[in-house]
Protein backbone atom coordinates (compact mmCIF):
# COMPACT_ATOMS: atom_id res chain seq x y z
CA UNK A 1 0.00 0.00 0.00
CA UNK A 2 2.78 2.44 0.89
CA UNK A 3 4.53 1.80 -2.42
CA UNK A 4 1.32 2.62 -4.28
CA UNK A 5 -0.19 5.47 -2.30
CA UNK A 6 2.31 7.02 0.10
CA UNK A 7 5.01 9.57 -0.52
CA UNK A 8 8.74 8.98 -0.06
CA UNK A 9 8.74 10.49 3.43
CA UNK A 10 6.00 8.16 4.68
CA UNK A 11 7.73 5.16 3.14
CA UNK A 12 11.08 6.05 4.75
CA UNK A 13 9.39 6.68 8.10
CA UNK A 14 7.65 3.29 7.97
CA UNK A 15 10.86 1.48 7.03
CA UNK A 16 12.82 3.20 9.82
CA UNK A 17 10.12 2.22 12.32
CA UNK A 18 10.18 -1.41 11.16
CA UNK A 19 13.98 -1.50 11.45
CA UNK A 20 13.74 -0.05 14.96
CA UNK A 21 10.97 -2.41 16.13
CA UNK A 22 12.35 -5.65 14.67
CA UNK A 23 15.79 -7.13 14.18
CA UNK A 24 17.44 -6.40 10.86
CA UNK A 25 17.59 -10.16 10.23
CA UNK A 26 13.82 -10.52 10.64
CA UNK A 27 13.04 -7.33 8.72
CA UNK A 28 15.16 -8.38 5.77
CA UNK A 29 14.27 -12.09 5.71
CA UNK A 30 10.55 -11.92 6.53
CA UNK A 31 9.48 -8.55 5.13
CA UNK A 32 11.85 -6.99 2.62
CA UNK A 33 13.08 -10.06 0.69
CA UNK A 34 9.56 -11.47 0.15
CA UNK A 35 8.35 -8.02 -0.87
CA UNK A 36 11.27 -7.74 -3.29
CA UNK A 37 10.32 -11.08 -4.89
CA UNK A 38 6.67 -10.04 -5.10
CA UNK A 39 7.58 -6.73 -6.75
CA UNK A 40 9.78 -8.45 -9.34
CA UNK A 41 7.03 -10.93 -10.21
CA UNK A 42 4.41 -8.19 -10.55
CA UNK A 43 3.66 -6.77 -13.99
CA UNK A 44 0.52 -4.72 -13.33
CA UNK A 45 0.17 -0.98 -14.06
CA UNK A 46 2.47 1.02 -11.78
CA UNK A 47 4.72 -1.93 -10.97
CA UNK A 48 7.83 -0.23 -12.39
CA UNK A 49 7.22 2.78 -10.16
CA UNK A 50 6.73 0.56 -7.09
CA UNK A 51 9.98 -1.31 -7.86
CA UNK A 52 11.85 1.99 -8.21
CA UNK A 53 10.41 3.36 -4.96
CA UNK A 54 11.26 0.15 -3.13
CA UNK A 55 14.82 0.18 -4.48
CA UNK A 56 15.33 3.80 -3.44
CA UNK A 57 13.92 3.12 0.05
CA UNK A 58 16.08 0.01 0.54
CA UNK A 59 19.21 1.78 -0.69
CA UNK A 60 18.56 4.79 1.55
CA UNK A 61 17.97 2.55 4.56
CA UNK A 62 21.21 0.66 3.90
CA UNK A 63 23.20 3.87 3.51
CA UNK A 64 21.60 5.31 6.66
CA UNK A 65 22.49 2.14 8.60
CA UNK A 66 26.04 2.12 7.24
CA UNK A 67 26.52 5.76 8.21
CA UNK A 68 25.04 5.28 11.69
CA UNK A 69 27.15 2.23 12.55
CA UNK A 70 30.25 3.90 11.09
CA UNK A 71 30.34 6.12 14.17
CA UNK A 72 30.47 3.10 16.48
CA UNK A 73 33.18 0.59 17.18
CA UNK A 74 32.18 -2.26 14.91
CA UNK A 75 33.99 -4.96 12.98
CA UNK A 76 34.70 -3.65 9.46
CA UNK A 77 33.35 -5.81 6.66
CA UNK A 78 33.78 -5.41 2.91
CA UNK A 79 30.70 -6.61 0.98
CA UNK A 80 31.52 -7.08 -2.69
CA UNK A 81 28.91 -7.88 -5.34
CA UNK A 82 30.27 -10.66 -7.55
CA UNK A 83 26.89 -11.25 -9.21
CA UNK A 84 23.33 -10.21 -8.46
CA UNK A 85 19.86 -11.30 -9.52
CA UNK A 86 18.41 -7.86 -8.91
CA UNK A 87 19.55 -4.46 -7.74
CA UNK A 88 18.13 -4.84 -4.22
CA UNK A 89 19.67 -8.05 -2.92
CA UNK A 90 23.12 -6.61 -2.17
CA UNK A 91 21.56 -3.64 -0.35
CA UNK A 92 19.30 -5.96 1.65
CA UNK A 93 22.38 -7.93 2.69
CA UNK A 94 24.09 -4.68 3.75
CA UNK A 95 21.07 -3.83 5.95
CA UNK A 96 21.16 -7.30 7.51
CA UNK A 97 24.90 -7.15 8.18
CA UNK A 98 24.85 -3.66 9.72
CA UNK A 99 22.05 -4.85 11.98
CA UNK A 100 24.33 -7.67 13.11
CA UNK A 101 26.90 -5.07 14.16
CA UNK A 102 29.26 -4.88 11.19
CA UNK A 103 30.57 -1.62 9.73
CA UNK A 104 29.89 -2.41 6.08
CA UNK A 105 31.69 -1.01 3.09
CA UNK A 106 29.77 -2.03 -0.01
CA UNK A 107 30.75 -2.46 -3.64
CA UNK A 108 27.25 -2.93 -5.12
CA UNK A 109 28.09 -3.24 -8.84
CA UNK A 110 29.37 -6.60 -10.07
CA UNK A 111 32.55 -6.36 -12.12
CA UNK A 112 34.83 -8.73 -14.01
CA UNK A 113 37.71 -7.86 -11.68
CA UNK A 114 37.77 -7.84 -7.87
CA UNK A 115 36.71 -4.61 -6.20
CA UNK A 116 39.09 -2.71 -3.96
CA UNK A 117 38.05 -1.62 -0.48
CA UNK A 118 38.83 1.95 0.53
CA UNK A 119 39.63 0.94 4.13
CA UNK A 120 41.14 -1.97 5.97
CA UNK A 121 38.58 -4.64 6.82
CA UNK A 122 38.44 -7.68 9.08
CA UNK A 123 35.99 -9.61 6.89
CA UNK A 124 35.43 -9.77 3.13
CA UNK A 125 32.16 -11.22 1.86
CA UNK A 126 31.81 -11.87 -1.85
CA UNK A 127 28.08 -11.83 -2.70
CA UNK A 128 27.08 -14.41 -5.31
CA UNK A 129 23.49 -13.83 -6.30
CA UNK A 130 23.84 -15.49 -9.70
CA UNK A 131 27.00 -17.59 -9.53
CA UNK A 132 30.68 -16.73 -9.75
CA UNK A 133 33.03 -16.54 -12.73
CA UNK A 134 36.16 -18.67 -12.96
CA UNK A 135 38.34 -15.56 -12.59
CA UNK A 136 36.59 -14.42 -9.43
CA UNK A 137 36.59 -17.97 -8.05
CA UNK A 138 40.39 -18.15 -8.55
CA UNK A 139 40.75 -14.78 -6.81
CA UNK A 140 38.67 -16.04 -3.90
CA UNK A 141 40.66 -19.30 -3.63
CA UNK A 142 43.98 -17.42 -3.79
CA UNK A 143 42.95 -15.03 -1.01
CA UNK A 144 41.64 -17.90 1.07
CA UNK A 145 44.91 -19.82 0.64
CA UNK A 146 46.80 -16.68 1.78
CA UNK A 147 44.79 -16.78 5.01
CA UNK A 148 42.69 -13.71 4.35
CA UNK A 149 39.27 -13.47 6.03
CA UNK A 150 37.20 -13.97 2.89
CA UNK A 151 33.94 -15.85 2.31
CA UNK A 152 31.53 -16.54 -0.53
CA UNK A 153 27.93 -15.78 0.40
CA UNK A 154 24.60 -15.48 -1.35
CA UNK A 155 22.05 -17.84 -2.89
CA UNK A 156 24.17 -19.14 -5.82
CA UNK A 157 27.86 -19.85 -5.27
CA UNK A 158 28.18 -22.13 -8.31
CA UNK A 159 30.85 -21.43 -10.89
CA UNK A 160 29.76 -20.32 -14.35
CA UNK A 161 31.59 -19.58 -17.60
pLDDT digits (tens, 9 = 90+) for 124-153: 999 999 999 999 999 999 999 999 999 999
Domain-wise residue ranges, the chain? 2-160
* pLDDT for res 71: 67
Question: Residue 29 has what DSSP assignment?
Answer: I
What are the CA-CA distances from residue 125 to residues 64, 128, 131, 142 (Å)?
A: 20, 9, 14, 15
pLDDT digit string (tens) for 48-91?
999 999 999 999 999 999 998 876 778 999 999 999 999 999 99
What is d(CA 15, CA 6) in angstroms, rounded to the nearest whole number? 12
CB 35 within 8 A of CB 1: no
* pLDDT for res 149: 92
The pTM for the full model equals 0.91
What is d(CA 20, CA 22) in angstroms, rounded to the nearest whole number? 6
Question: Residue 60 has what DSSP assignment?
Answer: H
* pLDDT for res 21: 94
Amino acid sequence: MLLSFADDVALDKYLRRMMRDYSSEDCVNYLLKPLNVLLHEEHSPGSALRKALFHRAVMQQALRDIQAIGRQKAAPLFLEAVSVNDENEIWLEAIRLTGLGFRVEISPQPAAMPAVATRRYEHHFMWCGAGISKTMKRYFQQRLAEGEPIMLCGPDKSEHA
